[in-house]
Structure 1
């Protein structure tokens, strides 16, 4: 019996040592780091740099705009750890669900122009959408994940989005809400982009595709580089997407006793859970660990997850929103529409009983201690971009090494950068007055 216990102890200890070794295996890399920043915000930059040196960050960019001007624009680490290809100034990375927030701003531009109305039924712009119990779903209901369309009956090949869009429209038109629209909410993780991108194309006077709409209505006008679906000729600039090693998740769980990432993974893998069903809805199942490093997938526009940019461009975009909808290059949105975007439409626990989100009209109202700190959207594994209209700040963080899956907009490291920034901003504004 003693030998059995000893053997079990050695086995467990060996396993823990292996997990720890894998978790720390990138620690000794010589980390590149570069960028520019206002001296008053050196503490933010130092904190970001230290997290590369300690192995917390692997490859990422961080950018902050205030009153339409850049205060912090830094990047570091590796775009590909295996080849040690450095993260450079113009590096692009997949944004996952942070793409949803960018497209929500595009919808807001349409509302400002009178091409869409949040209160009108989606079927007003797309009559066939109203089939199968969807006639009462309004534009804002769809944008705030209240339409009951997170789970689909069957799937279709993702290539249809580019090659046969009419088949995509027909597939979406045939869907029946999973719950009565307007009575509950649940995150439309995959299907959001399918329905919203289709709505944009239907409402657009020129019937352009979502990627072209962004380029012509926002990108070219304001010098913001963002791609909904990455063109082949730009693939060389992307950071290689790397999911969090499971050993890292295990180690953090064992050392912190925080089981949320493991619970979330379990829900994702459970085909009977709402979360599990939603992640295999819409398009055919995508092999997450490999697909987002394959140009044939990355080139397809899909506003749920397939946007590409970096922190600089996202912070500039949200910085315009935070600055009253305008900067030196012009006006992007009216202040009236920005106020509408700040209004949350959901509260309380979602349909699965796990999530509490303040979804608005395509963006999330970021609320802490009962105070609105901004509007924006996070993305899988740590990506986030948001506008803090009260502090006139656009903030963005983008990484290629995806952190453990958890609920909430701000991961620990990103919240740290944000909080240090706010402290520095207070001193910065005092210095300007002096």
Structure 2
């Protein structure tokens, strides 16, 4: 694990650790300005061009008190950016012939046929078109039991108002994919994140839920308000609104006690919620999307087949999602951003952590941080401005030539070595 006091690259702004090609000075300065002090937390940014790392930097603090520095192996709970990771697990299984996008889910997971879902395909699930986004009155205890949630989504009826239309499955998406993956492999998503993502990518920085005690990756605390002021009217009305068929995003995300799961030591991290509770370093995200942006290969090794990668970009999203109201163009588990704001595809998480691939240019990005609902109310949009700097610096690097930076952070094999020692 990298120590904060390790010798710093003198080309980096004060307080920023890591390494960056000289062409990316504007990007790194922009990144550093997102974390101006202790109360703004910390984060990391990794950029790969043609599969080679050209930026790997981090700064700020990993705890709410502002006493623990962010390090090379600090990870963040990346919320919905987890969906991109879970989707990549499925694509790896497709590559091995274990799953076909256009076959019904019940062909692999017979229990899923319940309540008239026998024709719902894997592709429809991965496009958020299965009509299964609503939580339908789950309790916090239910939600923390991933096996119960897999059974619950398998038994649920489709919402006829949403089926066949893009309607973001904010939480249920993860259990739909984990139930499918378990049916064909016999293994849960926490294990599959290690065997299908972290290990072949050569990084420890990809976990579902809290990293094990012997893992180099440490989850940063989430900067979120810790006090809860009771609102008895809201607490009475909210469950009833969420239960309505037309409750939209609220019905797909709300359950009693939702805020408590990201407060304190983040109880959410001790469950398996493959739509939202991934813990990733920027490096882990960037390496995964780096393979996707580089025709399925990373550092000379095939990670996904070129055929599978070629099918991942979807058509431009011009129709608003029924739950989000934004045309994000969901396709095979990733989304685009309309109007060319961010070419390529990937997945953004609540607060603004993001993993992104642009196969047309060979660019891949991982950006993670631990700030949520703080004085920087535009956290979700902060990356859009940073992306503009990245694109400008990439163009400069391609014109002038660039030098890859060293591989930083721990690999999963360092864990097994330390355990053996």
Q: TM-score, normalised by structure 2?
A: 0.80
Paired residue for 2:165, among 166, 184, 195?
Answer: 184
Match for 2:31 among 31, 48, 67?
A: 48
Measure the CA separation in 1 of the matches of 2:376 and 2:121: 30
Name which one, 1 or 2, has greater alpha-carbon Rg: 1
Query: Are 2:47 and 2:53, in contact at CA under 8 Å, matched by a contact in 1?
Result: yes
Return the alpha-carbon distance in structure 2 between the equivalents of residues 235 and 320 of structure 1.
Answer: 23
Per the TM alignment, residue 42 of structure 1 is displaced from its structure 2 partner at its CA by: 1.2
Report whether the alignment pairs 1:394 with 2:375: no
**Post-superposition shift, 1:351?**
2.5
Q: Which residue of 2 aligns with 1:150?
A: 133
Alignment of 1:1-400 (within 5 A): 32-53=15-36, 57-155=40-138, 157-161=142-146, 165=147, 167-179=148-160, 182-204=163-185, 207-225=186-204, 226-233=206-213, 237-243=218-224, 271=242, 273-280=247-254, 285-291=256-262, 293-294=264-265, 296-328=267-299, 330-344=301-315, 347-352=318-323, 354-369=325-340, 373-400=343-370
Distance 1:168 1:275, change over 3 A: closer
CA contact 1:185–1:350 (8 Å) conserved in 2 = yes
Cα offset for 1:280? 2.9
Shift of residue 402, structure 1, vs aligned partner: 1.6
Q: Where does residue 251 of structure 1 map in the other structure?
A: none
Change (3 A) 1:44 1:325: same
Query: Does the CA contact (< 8 Å) of 1:137 and 1:181 recur in 2?
Result: no
Is the CA contact (8 Å cut-off) linking 1:366 and 1:376 kept in structure 2? no
Partner SS for 1:75: strand
* Partner Cα distance (1:413, 1:423) in 2: 16
CA contact (8 A) 1:62 1:312 kept: yes
Higher helix share: 1
Residue 292 of structure 1: CA displacement? 5.4
Kept after mapping to 1: 8 A contact 2:78/2:280: yes
Structure-2 change in CA distance of 1:229 and 1:81 (3 Å): closer
On the 8 A contact 1:76/1:86 being kept in 2, the answer is: yes
Query: What secondary structure is seen at the aligned counterpart in 2 of 1:85?
Result: coil
The alignment partner of 1:148 has SS state of: coil
Match in the other structure for 1:19 = none
Structure 1 equivalent of residue 6 of structure 2: none
Give 1:236 shift.
8.4
| Cα offsets for 1:41-96 (capped at 9, x unmatched) | 11111122233337895311111011111111111111113142111111111010
SS at match of 1:362: coil
Aligned residue pairs, count? 373
- Structure 1: stretches of 5+ with no match in the other structure: 1-30, 247-265
CA contact (8 A) 1:218 1:332 kept: no
Structure 2: runs of 5 or more not aligned: 1-13, 228-236, 403-421
Root-mean-square deviation (CA), in Å?
3.1
Change (3 A) 1:77 1:404: closer
SS in 2 for 1:71: strand
Bigger mean CA offset, 398-407 vs 42-51: 398-407
Higher alpha-carbon deviation: 303-312 or 178-187: 178-187
Distance 1:301 1:182 in 2: 26
